[in-house]
Structure 1
């Protein structure tokens, strides 16, 4: 199971790009791909699953990093950072319109990179969680890049967790416990917001405190369901009929 965060670096100064790549890949949480232009970046995004981008604002060629950022916002819905040595107000104002999730100024160090990535993922997650239900209903049917993973903060860094690895979600007051095959994560967001974020057909609410991944159901009875042979959870009366409709019985 590969939970590395796949980062696309879009930078036309090859030595700087290689330096950034080496710094990132010294951390086993990251896997990187380097391209030098708008066109190369778009090709990678359409052919390879990426989780995150670091984009130089001033790319060579007709299309700039800002153009790429606008395409990312329109077609891919991924978090990205603007990388730049230009901190003047005019450049900042132009870049701001593309709504980057953070900035990384050249020259950079390891701590600056880490802080920028964490800030970008945090801002991206917050923006997604704040979308209202109506907006989600309008975009989700046509979104070709519906997320197949979540970024979850754990031990002061963000980890990529595949949605398919989530066994069930458990409400705990204003927190949600995300039970996965690997480990459990406690996230400071209410269960309803996590449910909106996942929005996958395999997930089913069975109780006010539990949402299950139906792929892990191994048995069920009148008022309980068993996941992976060892997690038995209660099924409330109001959700029982829906659970029975999900499974074929003979």
Structure 2
């Protein structure tokens, strides 16, 4: 089965070799990142189904830091790929619940087996979660914490949400609410029949869209970008001729 894979690896030769292996195995490489910041940027695009993380990468942060970010914001399986097999490194990595740990050098069979097992184990764990933790829509409204109080917002009144660093802006016709939360968490809480992610920083209410032109859409007087990868998902949500 084909999967969309993010590679986090700071050695260009190893990254290229791993990318070639994945393509031969019919997987799609959605990006190669050499550092924590580059990895988070690619993860924010929302296309990766699984990440292969080298532990030692460029910059002050490591692949383990990337793993922590994935666990908190992106919720996809990840596998550590490293040249280090000492007890201390393995112990430190295992504390972050990876879906696999592959020691370099590795072969195509090692990579493919690890990816398939990680994807299946991730699905099993997701299915075992209580319904309220799966992000399934079960309400016509949403309570958000803004200005030190919980405020109830009707789903139908939300025009769009916008990610701003560690905060998310909920925009309604009359007001805007700034909430300290992750964009992934917001996406999981919104009604999937009513809302669609059109860009790594925007989720929109499809009922509020006025028009769509090229790589933008209009809601009220707000022009919102639409990424190329999200366009097919957007058009699958709207009734068009």
**TM-score under structure 2 length normalisation:** 0.55
- CA distance in 2: counterparts of 1:59 and 1:29, whole angstroms: 23
Q: Which residue of 1 aligns with 2:107?
A: 109
The within-5 A match list for 1:1-250 is 4-136=2-134, 144-145=183-184, 200-201=192-193
Q: In 2, Cα distance between the equivalents of 1:110 and 1:89?
A: 25
Taking a change above 3 Å as real, the CA distance of residues 137 and 26 of structure 1, as seen in their structure-2 partners, is closer
CA 1:144–1:105 in structure 2 vs 1: closer, same or farther (change >3 Å)? same
- Residues in 1 aligned to 2:72 and 2:183: alpha-carbon distance in whole angstroms: 11
Are the aligned partners of 1:24 and 1:32 in contact in 2 as well (CA < 8 Å)?
no
CA-CA distance at 1:93 after TM superposition: 1.1
1 CA distance for matches of 2:14 and 2:103?
12
CA distance in 1: counterparts of 2:48 and 2:76, whole angstroms:
8
Instruction: Indicate the SS of the match to 1:7.
Output: strand
Q: Distance in 2 between matches of 1:93 and 1:132?
A: 29
The answer to whether the 8 A contact 1:54-1:82 is kept is: yes
- Alpha carbons 1:7, 1:54 under 8 Å: kept: yes
| Contact 1:6-1:52 within 8 A present in 2 as well | yes
Q: 1:88-125 CA deviation, whole Å, 9 max, x = no partner?
A: 11111111121111122100001001111011112211
Tell me, yes or no, if the aligned pair for 1:9 and 1:54 is still in contact at 8 Å: yes
Would you say the 8 A contact 2:137–2:192 is kept in 1?
no
Residues paired across the two proteins, number? 149
C-alpha distance in structure 1 between counterparts of 2:132 and 2:43, whole Å: 27
Q: SS of 1:50's equivalent?
A: coil
Alignment partners' CA distance in 2, 1:40 and 1:137: 27
Cα 1:137/1:11, change in 2 over 3 Å: closer
Cα contact 2:30–2:47 (8 A) shared by 1 = no
After superposition, the C-alpha distances for 1:196-219 in whole angstroms (9 at most, x for unaligned) are xxx9549xxxxxxxxxxxxxxxxx
Query: Relative to 1, partners in 2 of residues 1:81 and 1:47: Cα closer, same or farther, differing over 3 Å?
Result: same
How far did residue 21 of structure 1 move?
A: 0.3
Partners of 1:23 and 1:7 in 2: how far apart?
12
**Higher mean C-alpha deviation, range 94-103 or range 25-34:** 25-34
Gap runs ≥5 in structure 1: 149-198, 203-250
- Structure 2 unaligned residues grouped into runs of 5+: 143-180, 195-241
Give 1:60 shift: 2.7
Q: Deviations over 1:58-84 (max 9, x none)?
A: 213211000000000000001111111
Kept in 2, the 8 Å contact 1:21–1:32? The answer is no
| CA RMSD of superposed structures (Å) | 2.8
